[in-house]
């Protein structure tokens, strides 16, 4: 599905490379010399305490902010100077932290908006919408207005909407904020089935909830005061003494 953007050769480029990126705001360095790489099939967690730079890093990746130094490479292509909508067209999808569905549109219209921008997706659009409706289990509510959905359902609708853009990279900014425990688990199941179906090439999940990160991530990057403090598997990171001091320790 993603072959048009991500190379089809035997050694495809990483889905996302953040190369030595720095970003300051009025003298405050929010992100300092951060590098990370997302390989095909990877589910990466991004954690860190408040003010660690998680949000700024996300903004730099999807283009709301431009880096002062360094580069963002997406599917082998430099995108550092592209505005968000062009990065989205290349296959980057973001689920906002604040629920961002279109309240006055129906569930189906919300999804149709996701399916529209690319001609490739427009073909067989209705079938794709039906498929996603099944995946996010909103088939019975397809003609409801989005405002009538529960909080969890709105989050899933937004995930469904961005999936219809047929993305290579799915960025999820605190996807379980405000969710009940059951809704969080349901979201984790949804993300796992996306991976099984190879619906997206890679995912990056920003979360406060470590329990959720454990459920959905193979690898974790820990940010602390704008820099990468540690990276590795969930177990490795949890055993890291620096991380325990800086982040996990404080939660315990």
Place of tokens 């490795």: 236
12 sits near other proteins (criterion: CB under 8 A): no
Distance of CA 32 to the CA centre of its chain: 21
Q: How far is the CB of 113 from other proteins (least distance, A)?
A: 5
Our CB check for other proteins shows the closer of 7 and 83 to be: 83
195 sits near other proteins (criterion: CB under 8 A): no
Scanning residues 127 to 166, which ones bind other proteins (CB under 8 A)? Answer: 145, 158, 161-162, 165
Binding region for other proteins (CB under 8 A) out of 74-82, 105-113, 184-192, 237-245: 105-113
Burial class (CB within 10 angstroms; exposed 0-12, middle 13-18, buried 19+) of 198: exposed
Our CB check for other proteins shows the closer of 42 and 158 to be: 158
Scanning residues 20 to 79, which ones bind other proteins (CB under 8 A)? Answer: 62
DSSP-derived 3-state class of residue 16: strand
Three-state secondary structure along 132-176?
Answer: HHHHCCCHHHCCCEHHHCCHHHHHHHHHHHHHCCCCCEEEEECCC
DSSP-derived 3-state class of residue 118: coil
Binding region for other proteins (CB under 8 A) out of 108-116, 127-135, 173-181, 237-245: 108-116
Our CB check for other proteins shows the closer of 42 and 166 to be: 166
Q: Which tokens in the block code for residue 132?
A: 């996603």
116 sits near other proteins (criterion: CB under 8 A): yes
Scanning residues 218 to 247, which ones bind other proteins (CB under 8 A)? Answer: none
Q: How far is the CB of 89 from other proteins (least distance, A)?
A: 4
- Residue 249: other Cβ atoms inside 10 A: 11
Q: How far is the CB of 246 from other proteins (least distance, A)?
A: 31
Binding region for other proteins (CB under 8 A) out of 39-47, 70-78, 84-92, 211-219: 84-92
Place of tokens 């993603």: 2
What is residue 12's DSSP assignment? P
Q: How far is the CB of 100 from other proteins (least distance, A)?
A: 4
**The binder of other proteins chosen from 7, 41, 78, 84 (CB under 8 A):** 84
Binding region for other proteins (CB under 8 A) out of 43-51, 73-81, 106-114, 199-207: 106-114
Under 8 Å CB-to-CB from 47, ≥6 apart: which residues? 54, 206, 207, 208, 210, 213, 220, 221, 222, 223, 247
212 sits near other proteins (criterion: CB under 8 A): no
User: Cα separations (Å) of 38 from 72, 149, 219?
Assistant: 12, 33, 10
Cα–Cα distance for residue pair 121/100, rounded to 1 Å: 22
Count of chain residues binding other proteins (CB under 8 A): 27
Q: Please give the residue ranges that form the binding site for other proteins (CB under 8 A).
A: 62, 83-85, 88-89, 93-94, 96, 100-105, 109, 112-114, 116-118, 145, 158, 161-162, 165
């Amino acid at each position: 599905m993603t072959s048009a953007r991500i190379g089809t050769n035997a050694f495809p480029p990483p889905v996302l490379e953040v190369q030595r990126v720095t970003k300051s705001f009025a003298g405050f360095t929010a992100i300092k010399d951060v590098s990370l790489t997302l390989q095909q099939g990877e589910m990466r967690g991004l954690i860190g305490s408040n003010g660690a730079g998680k949000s700024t890093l996300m903004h730099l990746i999807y283009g709301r902010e431009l880096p002062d130094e360094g580069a963002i490479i997406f599917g082998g292509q430099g995108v550092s100077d592209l505005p968000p909508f062009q990065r989205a067209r290349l296959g980057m999808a973001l689920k906002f932290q604040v629920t961002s569905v279109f309240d006055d549109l129906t569930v189906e219209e919300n999804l149709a908006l996701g399916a529209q921008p690319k001609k490739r997706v427009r073909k067989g659009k209705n079938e794709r919408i039906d498929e996603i409706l099944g995946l996010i289990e909103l088939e019975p509510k397809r003609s409801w207005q989005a405002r009538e959905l529960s909080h969890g359902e709105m989050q899933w609708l937004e995930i469904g909407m961005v999936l219809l853009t047929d993305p290579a990279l799915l960025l999820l900014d605190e996807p379980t904020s405000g969710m009940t425990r059951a809704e969080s688990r349901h979201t984790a199941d949804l993300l796992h089935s996306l991976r099984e179906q190879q619906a997206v090439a890679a995912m990056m999940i920003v979360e406060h909830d470590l329990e959720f990160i454990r459920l959905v991530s193979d690898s974790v990057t820990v940010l602390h005061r704008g820099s990468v403090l540690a990276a590795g598997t969930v177990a490795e990171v949890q055993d890291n003494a620096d991380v325990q001091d800086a982040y996990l320790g404080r939660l315990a």
